[in-house]
Chain A
């Protein structure tokens, strides 16, 4: 039963810090800011710990608040997609091992150039493996809007990838030949 579940703050931080941090980082493109947001989200969780009904509820709540805080931070900074792209490309203190493969890093850079609503939908879809229904509930948006953001975002990302990721095709071909 959900009511038998007792929220353990330390355990929740352990389990979800990677999720919250990754969401904030991919939404803001700034590692330092993402860390601040993650910290704020968990402190907010501490204040609302008594209202958490289950593990799923806590995860849903954390995703929702992380996305909302990231959007607030973006609005405060008035950062546009292209600015974020520059920040991510420059690394902003990210370690080399944090940046994954070059192809993955480039896809992340391109993702950061998308408009915020499309980026939010794609991050939740592909990082968190969420369904459009779950994304709609998390972002408190109509399902049709989310589906549209996913479709348009993916289309735009593909177009950008075709223009910017020449090495993607080259590497793929080299791998196939090898």
Chain B
């Protein structure tokens, strides 16, 4: 909707307030700054992704180290348990032999 100018004064005002042409270099400046800003944004994104990737890699390495350490401790614990069990088995076997020999000696002595 457009209003008709009410009087000469308003018509003069309307003419006086016609749009002025933008400075000749405005569009070029805008496009240059926009291009620079976009390049900067892409660079910032790249740096952000690099940092994120480095963080993820570091976290992975740390998590892997912790997991390996836990695994290694568990493996060592298992090894020790096995050795103790073997030692117990050997001891038990020796005791059984000794018991058999004692029993045999007792039998021979009684006869």
Chain A contact residues, CB within 8 Å of chain B: 9-10, 13-14, 17-22, 25-26, 31, 35, 38-39, 42-43, 46, 98, 100-101, 103-105, 107-108, 111, 122-123, 125-127, 129, 131, 154, 157-158, 161, 168
Contact = CB atoms under 8 A, between A and B. Distances in A.
Contacts of B19: 18-19, 22, 127
Given A17-B26, A22-B22, A125-B3, 6 more contacts: A18-B20, A21-B22, A42-B30, A43-B37, A126-B10, A126-B17
Contacts of B23: 21, 31, 35
Contacts of A158: 9
Contacts, number: 90
A172 B37 CA distance: 52
Contacts of B108: none
A126 B26 contact: no
B22 A38 contact: yes
Nearest to B7: A158
Contacts of A98: 20-21
A131 B1 contact: yes
A154 B6 CA distance: 11
Interface residues of B, number: 25
Interface of B: 1-3, 9-10, 12-23, 26-27, 29-31, 33-34, 37
Given A14-B27, A38-B22, A46 B34 contact: yes
A10 B32 CA distance: 12
Contacts of B22: 17-18, 20-22, 35, 38
A108 to B, nearest CB: 6
B15 to A, nearest CB: 6
B33 A108 contact: no
B2 A108 contact: no
A125 B6 CA distance: 13
A26 B3 CA distance: 21
A13 B30 contact: yes
